[in-house]
Amino acid sequence: MIRIFTGVLLVLSLLTLANCSSGGRGSAVNVSPTQILGMTARPSNTSCVAPDRPGAGGATALSVVRALPNINFKPTANDSLITGAFMPHSDAASSRWYVTSLDGHVYAVNNSDSATSFSTFADISSRTRYSSGAETGLYGIAFHPNYPTNPRVYVTYSTTSPTGGVRGRVSEFRTLDGGNTLDPSTEVVLLTIDQPNGDHNGGFIGFSPNDGDLYVSLGDGGGVYDPHGTIGNGQDTTTLLGKVVRIDIDHPSAALPYSIPVDNPYAGNPSCSATGAGSANCPEIYAYGLRNPWRGSFDRQSGQLWMSDNGEDSWEEVDRIILGGNYGWRCREGANSTGLACGTATSFIDPVAQYAHPTAGRSVIGGFVYHGTKYPALAGSYVFGDLYGNLFKIPSTTSPTLTLTVVDATSSGLTIVSLAEDNSGELYVVDLNGTLWRLQSSGSGVNTISDSLLATGCISTTAPTEPASGLIPYVPNAPFWSDGASKRRWIAIPDGSQISTSTLADGDWEFPVGTVLVKDFSLNNALVETRLFMRHTDGSWAGYSYEWNDAHTDATRVVGGKDKAVGTQTWHFPSESECMQCHSAAAGYSLGPETGQLNGNYAYPSTPSPPYTGTMANQLDTLSHIGLLTPEIGSAGASAYPDPLGSAGTVAERARAYLHTNCSQCHRPSGGTPVSIDLRYQATAAMSGTGTCAATPLRGDLGVSGAKIIDPGSPATSVLYLRMHTRGANQMPPIASTLVDAAGASLLSDWITQMSATCN
């Protein structure tokens, strides 16, 4: 499915403006007047307040607003993730949404913001292969063009093969009760595709408005660079892997429950429906040369098929799929050569658009050509998104190949798993964590973020290297690795607002609209960068980076990220998209300010006095005393993470704190990775629940024989340790760091070395 659950995908990691997530929660307290406190009162903050969210470049800015505001489709009993929302055009009478979940459920709800409940339309969980964090499960659903008069429904999902491997299926089901529920007993398997790995399974299924045939996208079978065979599965036309297939389900043949359209490139050859491969070129193939085409859509007016294709290391792409087209994977990624073998193929279809990751985004999702009526400025635009919340728009007439940058993106603040189209052509965004959002256009691409840090109101106008007077300092117990930089951190929230400490799980805090989290980075005692993480007036979060001038009189905003030589090292300024790869919805957006991180002492400044006391004091007690937290949290009884490089706590506790800060933003339930790993501090208390102990790596063994994610007693065969001990394509965290954290790596090595066979 897409690096989605990696990955997708993948995973990830670094960036921050604050630092990781999770932590226990203490009960509300009243701080004694005699207790040592770092502040006596809350300072007024009227200058450092997040403005409206900026629009994307161009004349039309995109934004999202909650649809079905009383509905969250994510089941509460498990970690099943939502994969998409679908509305059959012929179901116009009820205009119902059908929402798919990886665990094999399909939910139905009327398209009304007053809806308060949904029903189960289908439950095929008993035959669906699903595990938390993996790229397996129920991917998509399509309704017969004459549904519900014709009660057939088509589903693409993964199951388990007789040998225990992953097997993809495309199946037909029927509703036997007038369209209320799908009957699992009516399944007719159309295609079976044996998968060499558990990832890159595609996911799109839909009917063309032009020919009425059923189209399905299939990934290349996974693995690094698809190392199967000499040319890769995408180019091998004797397999359905890495293809878009087309079949005619209304005219079954004598041998199959479908027929092959006569103009398919290899029509007339023996079917590949039994295992997804054959001795001759597969007749089901419509187009090929794809890596992991997760979502596609048909232009409701022209019938043109649009497809997103997830890249490997460098490029995401959007394609217009044509009959017989070869889209280049694995010798091309986007319009760019990979240097890998593709046999004798030389003629490739260029993508309509591409963008580089991680700076401009990652894990493209796909979208729709807009034909709604609410936003005329969007008419004819192909609007699409990616997993990390970016939304893009390009004219549907765009000639290949348009290279997009971060300037062309709007951050939605969501973890986008799919876009959806209703019967009137209006567009929606599906969040991985179970909510549906309506896409809007503001009609203006106004930039509300100043290019000057001084002009943001977050630093002093008289002493620019110091914060504005309304900012409140803090320090996490377990700081994030930032290539050896020293850091200072502040919280700025609007006057009259408070931080909620009870609305989120894992000790995360909910910051009010208008919040700005500020973080300075210094190398060799000189300020290099300041990052602002803002919660805009529409409730969305976004990050912005500023580069200090040599005189330290001001810093200038860096758009799209950059690398800069600082002394003997390369310093990376993250792009806006990279910020959101770590500051995700699953992690609660803000990372450092949370209960377990701030239950520790801080040496508060002595000026100005008041409100500062110049004392070493507990941060939870202090922040509660000045009325910043609601409900209040005192240090007594609240959890506290140890300093990974300090002396307090056991080696295991300090290693867990390190992983929590540096890795758990993505490696957690709903974290958007393709591996089922949970590295939050609480989760690692019982290693059996993390998915790491003696577990086989799903993203490659780095060439180490017998490698495990964590191999108890052996750091040298533990991929978790090896990835964080290296830099390059296989590093963790995968972004924003060019230097190995030697002390952190040593801590993890010591931890793994002392582990018993059960990782305890």
- Over range 54-60, report the average pLDDT: 57
pTM comes to 0.77
584-607 CB burial, b ≥16 within 10 A, e <16: bbbbbbbbbbbbbbbbbbbebeee
Q: How confident is the model at residue 55 (pLDDT cuts 50, 70, 90)?
A: low
CA 213 to chain centre: 32
Please indicate whether residue 505 or residue 23 has the higher confidence score (pLDDT): 505
Residue 743 has pLDDT above 90, yes or no: yes
> Distance between CA atoms of 564 and 688, rounded to whole angstroms?
42
The dotted CATH code for 75-351 is: 2.120.10.30
Residue 715 has pLDDT above 60, yes or no: yes
**Helices assigned H by DSSP within 575-718:** 576-582, 595-598, 619-625, 651-663
Q: Edge-to-edge strand order for the sheet containing 410-411?
A: 364-369, 381-386, 390-395, 410-411
Residue 674 has pLDDT above 70, yes or no: no
pLDDT digits (tens, 9 = 90+) for 523-549: 999 999 999 999 998 788 889 999 999
Give which of 537, 486, 485 is closest to 516, Cα–Cα: 537
E strand intervals along 509-566: 516-523, 526-535, 541-548, 555-558, 562-566
What 8-state DSSP symbol labels residue 104?
Answer: S
Instruction: Kindly give the pairing relationship between strand 82-86 and strand 96-101.
Output: antiparallel
Q: How confident is the model at residue 243 (pLDDT cuts 50, 70, 90)?
A: very high
My answer on whether omega of the bond before 300 falls inside 30° of 0, hence cis, is no
Residue 10 has pLDDT above 50, yes or no: no
pLDDT for 5 equals 38
Residue 307, amino acid: M
- Residue 155's contacts (CB-CB under 8 Å, 6 or more residues apart) are 122, 124, 138, 140, 141, 142, 169, 170, 171, 173, 205
pLDDT for 346 equals 81
Residue 493, amino acid: I
> Distance between CA atoms of 285 and 271, rounded to whole angstroms?
10
- Over range 557-581, report the average pLDDT: 90
Q: Which two tokens stand for residue 701?
A: 């063994």
pLDDT for 441 equals 83
Q: Nearest 5°: phi and psi at 754?
A: -85, 0
- Over range 735-756, report the average pLDDT: 93
Q: Which of 89-98, 119-128, 443-452 has the highest mean pLDDT?
A: 119-128
**Helices assigned H by DSSP within 583-729:** 595-598, 619-625, 651-663, 719-724
Q: Across-strand partners of 516? A: 492, 534
pLDDT for 12 equals 29
Length of the chain in terms of residues written: 760
Lowest-confidence pick of 53-62, 321-330, 587-596: 53-62
Q: Which of 3-12, 108-117, 406-415 has the highest mean pLDDT?
A: 108-117
pLDDT digits (tens, 9 = 90+) for 486-511: 999 999 999 999 999 987 778 899 99
Round the average pLDDT of the chain to a whole number and report it.
88
Handedness of CA 659, 664, 666, 669 (dihedral sign): positive
pLDDT for 421 equals 95
Contact in structure between 441 and 375 (CB atoms under 8 Å): yes
Q: Which of 85-89, 438-442, 630-634 has the highest mean pLDDT?
A: 630-634
Q: How confident is the model at residue 184 (pLDDT cuts 50, 70, 90)?
A: very high
Contact in structure between 220 and 239 (CB atoms under 8 Å): no
- Residue 719's contacts (CB-CB under 8 Å, 6 or more residues apart) are 697, 700, 701, 702, 704, 707, 708, 709
Phi-psi region of 275 (alpha: psi -120 to 50; beta: other; left: phi over 0): alpha
pLDDT digits (tens, 9 = 90+) for 88-112: 876 655 688 999 998 999 999 988 8
CA 278 to chain centre: 36
Residue 84 has pLDDT above 70, yes or no: yes
Contact in structure between 125 and 104 (CB atoms under 8 Å): yes
Contact in structure between 370 and 394 (CB atoms under 8 Å): no
pLDDT for 414 equals 86
Lowest-confidence pick of 5-14, 550-559, 663-672: 5-14
Contact in structure between 225 and 730 (CB atoms under 8 Å): no
- Over range 450-472, report the average pLDDT: 97
- Over range 183-189, report the average pLDDT: 97
> Distance between CA atoms of 293 and 311, rounded to whole angstroms?
9
Q: How confident is the model at residue 229 (pLDDT cuts 50, 70, 90)?
A: low
Residue 140 has pLDDT above 50, yes or no: yes
> Distance between CA atoms of 551 and 281, rounded to whole angstroms?
66
pLDDT for 19 equals 34
Residue 15 has pLDDT above 70, yes or no: no
When computed from its CA atoms, the radius of gyration of the chain, rounded to whole angstroms, is 26
Contact in structure between 338 and 330 (CB atoms under 8 Å): yes
- Residue 570's contacts (CB-CB under 8 Å, 6 or more residues apart) are 563, 564, 738
- Over range 752-757, report the average pLDDT: 94
Residue 598 has pLDDT above 60, yes or no: yes
What 8-state DSSP symbol labels residue 27?
Answer: P
Contact in structure between 244 and 260 (CB atoms under 8 Å): no
Residue 3, amino acid: R
Domain ranges of the chain: 14-49+450-630, 75-351, 651-753
pLDDT digits (tens, 9 = 90+) for 600-615: 999 999 999 999 999 9
pLDDT digits (tens, 9 = 90+) for 381-423: 999 999 888 999 999 999 999 999 888 888 888 889 999 999 9
Place of tokens 């690692």: 684
Please indicate whether residue 460 or residue 737 has the higher confidence score (pLDDT): 460
Please indicate whether residue 336 or residue 584 has the higher confidence score (pLDDT): 336
- Over range 709-729, report the average pLDDT: 92
Residue 340 has pLDDT above 80, yes or no: yes
pLDDT for 227 equals 52
Residue 57 has pLDDT above 90, yes or no: no
pLDDT digits (tens, 9 = 90+) for 626-671: 999 999 999 998 999 999 999 999 999 999 999 999 999 888 877 7
- Over range 552-579, report the average pLDDT: 91
pLDDT for 582 equals 85
Residue 673 has pLDDT above 60, yes or no: yes
pLDDT for 442 equals 66
What 8-state DSSP symbol labels residue 42?
Answer: P
- Residue 620's contacts (CB-CB under 8 Å, 6 or more residues apart) are 26, 595, 598, 599, 629, 633, 634, 635, 638
Instruction: Kindly give the pairing relationship between strand 562-566 and strand 332-333.
Output: unpaired
Q: How confident is the model at residue 728 (pLDDT cuts 50, 70, 90)?
A: confident
pLDDT for 226 equals 55
pLDDT for 11 equals 30
Q: How confident is the model at residue 159 (pLDDT cuts 50, 70, 90)?
A: very high
- Over range 703-712, report the average pLDDT: 93
Q: What percent of the chain lies above the pLDDT cut of 90? A: 65
Q: How many CB atoms neighbour CB 729 within 10 A?
A: 10
